[in-house]
Amino acid sequence: MKSKSFRIFWLFLATALLINLLQSYFTPLIFDEAYYWYYAQNLAWGYFDHPPMVALMVALGSYFFDGELGVRLVSCLLSAGTLAVLWATVDDPRKKRYVTAFFILVFSMALLNAYGFFTLPDTPLLFFTALFLYVYKRFLTDTSAGWAIIMGLVMAGLMYSKYHAALVIIFVLLSNLKLLANKYAWLALLVALLTYVPHFIWLYQHDFVTIQYHLFDRPNAPYSFEKYTLGFFVNLMAIFGLTFPWIYLSLFRTKSTDTFTRALLYLVYGVLIFFFVSSFNRRVQTQWIIVTAIPLAIITFRRMMHDEKINRSIITAGLINIAIILYLRIGLVYEELSPVYYETHGNKALAKEMKSKIGDTPLVFINSYRNAPMFAFYTGNDTYSMNNAYYRRNQYSIDDSELRLQHRKVLYFSRRPEKADITFTKSNGGTFYGEFIENFESFRKLETIVDGPIRMDTLKELTLKIHNPYDRPVELDKLRFNVAYLTDFKKVKNAILIHPRPIDGQLLALPPNDTTYFKFKLPAPKMKNPSYFRVGISDNGLPFGLNGKNTEILY
């Protein structure tokens, strides 16, 4: 019996892996995957939005295969690994009779299914969460230096995957505060921190740009019950589909009978409460709570083995889920079979058309860290995302992509039909308006600094510092300046031209690798009580950029 269940388990797992590999090969990239592929072109210990694990995954897979399969290979392997670890974590001897039920449960989880082949930071996050829980369970029964070191390495893997991993570690710790007096638990923490040092160094070298963005600079919007809090509850259902009532029923019926089960419960309830509270401040994205799928898979599978009614209900609803998911997965590949237009559709064909008409001409996109890597992947051309004052910073803001395009002929997608030299239309009807620039030159890395906060009612002249990080002077006659006023939610409301006066009146250019001082008057805002302002720079008539940090305004 054991041998038969063993063979059935590995048959299911191998079939799932094969399906995911085939899906990976035939499905065009989604925009986020293209962005992470772009990360992987220059491996580093960190990136603007995320830690480096997702880039390493792409680089490893691309070493063995070209194209989409290379981007997704490691994701497919980690997904299979996640299921194997989940199975190993459940040590109930009755599980050998529920192999099929286990796979119906995990295959029916919509997002867990998607992360079976998409390469996103959540894919390694799910794998390392499952592995962390498995290792923690072993650590509880064999509290030794060996398991402590392994647990420390797994914790580092968690944190190298996504910053949300901190919640996994924190809530497991809160479930067992006796760990604070355990020398081996401290050893695990020390190993994790030492392993994470390279990323800490990267953050320091880049002025903690990732932390700064996620905690302080990310734009928000006024609270909306429908979009924020109600949306949070919709997400709780969406990550599981039709099986959600029985999954949450299994959660509610599970009691904290041992230390490991308490860790599972703390992890689920902790993450859900954390993001429920967050929903009163910002929209909670569905993938932010996907980590709960790991402990809930364990909790639910345990319940299925003890409650035949729940088992039958999940199998029935799960099979319907799986049928829907399979249909949608086919639609990712074949646009004509998809009930909706999805982001895998149209980009590959459009890139082929672009390549045939413009050859190797570099592509410059306005405000699109999505399009720039997507068309770099499918055309092989150099691309660049030029971010203006109404957008947000991203990896293109801190890397050298701008430098590769200087003084070259580029196709600039201006979004202005009247300026278009050439147009391209996607299958969904979206149009790209391309304008050729014969000698492209931009200075997006110029940094404007205004010390604050400032009081609007006592304002006279302000000092503006402009740092030029380039190795050559930047002529002032190529630059224009403005002040962008922002709301309390860091949204730009209006922008007004200004004319800063160099303290050195004879200044004609910003000296290289140096900071220059100017004086300017803050113009009267055309909005009521702005909360922040920042100074932007337009280079050679291009849109004003994101050149400075937000300066707080006091009243």
Task: Render pLDDT for 231-247 as a digit per residue (tens, 0 to 9).
Answer: 999 999 999 999 999 99
| Range scoring the smallest mean pLDDT among 348-352, 452-456, 518-522 | 452-456
400 by Cβ neighbours in 10 Å (0-12 / 13-18 / 19+) ranks as exposed
What is the C-alpha to C-alpha distance for residues 449 and 172, in angstroms, rounded to an integer? 42
Q: How does residue 49 score in pLDDT terms, banded at 50, 70 and 90?
A: very high
Class of domain 447-554: mainly beta
Give the per-residue pLDDT at 1: 43
Angle between helices 244-253 and 230-238 (to 10 degrees): 100
Task: Render pLDDT for 57-91 as a digit per residue (tens, 0 to 9).
Answer: 999 999 999 999 999 999 999 999 999 999 999 99
Whether the ω angle into residue 469 lies within 30 degrees of 0, i.e. cis, is: no
- Helix boundaries (H) for 343-443: 347-358, 371-379, 395-398
Contacts of 306 (CB under 8 A, 6+ apart): none
Closest CA to 515 of 466, 451, 449, 446: 466
Q: Answer whether residue 191 shows pLDDT above 80.
A: yes
What is the C-alpha to C-alpha distance for residues 74 and 58, in angstroms, rounded to an integer? 7
What is the C-alpha to C-alpha distance for residues 29 and 62, in angstroms, rounded to an integer? 14
Closest CA to 333 of 35, 15, 30: 30
Task: Render pLDDT for 98-157 as a digit per residue (tens, 0 to 9).
Answer: 999 999 999 999 888 888 899 999 999 999 999 999 999 999 999 999 999 999 999 999
pTM above 0.85, yes or no: yes
Give the SS3 label for residue 23.
helix
Q: Which two tokens stand for residue 195?
A: 């392993």
Give the per-residue pLDDT at 114: 82
Give the per-residue pLDDT at 2: 56
Check residue 339 and report its DSSP letter: S
What is the C-alpha to C-alpha distance for residues 292 and 390, in angstroms, rounded to an integer? 34
b/e sequence 228-255, b meaning 16+ C-beta within 10 Å = bbebbeebbeebbbbbbebbbbbbeebe
CATH 2.60.40 domain residues, the chain: 447-554
Q: Answer whether residue 220 shows pLDDT above 90.
A: no
Task: Render pLDDT for 17-32 as a digit per residue (tens, 0 to 9).
Answer: 999 999 999 999 999 9
* Mean pLDDT, range 236-264, rounded to an integer: 96
Task: Render pLDDT for 325-367 as a digit per residue (tens, 0 to 9).
Answer: 999 999 999 999 898 899 999 999 999 999 999 999 999 999 9
SS3 content of the chain, % helix, strand, coil (to 5): 55, 15, 30
Task: Render pLDDT for 293-308 as a digit per residue (tens, 0 to 9).
Answer: 999 999 999 999 999 9
Q: To the nearest whole number, what is the mean pLDDT of the chain?
A: 94
Question: H/E element holding 448?
Answer: strand 447-449
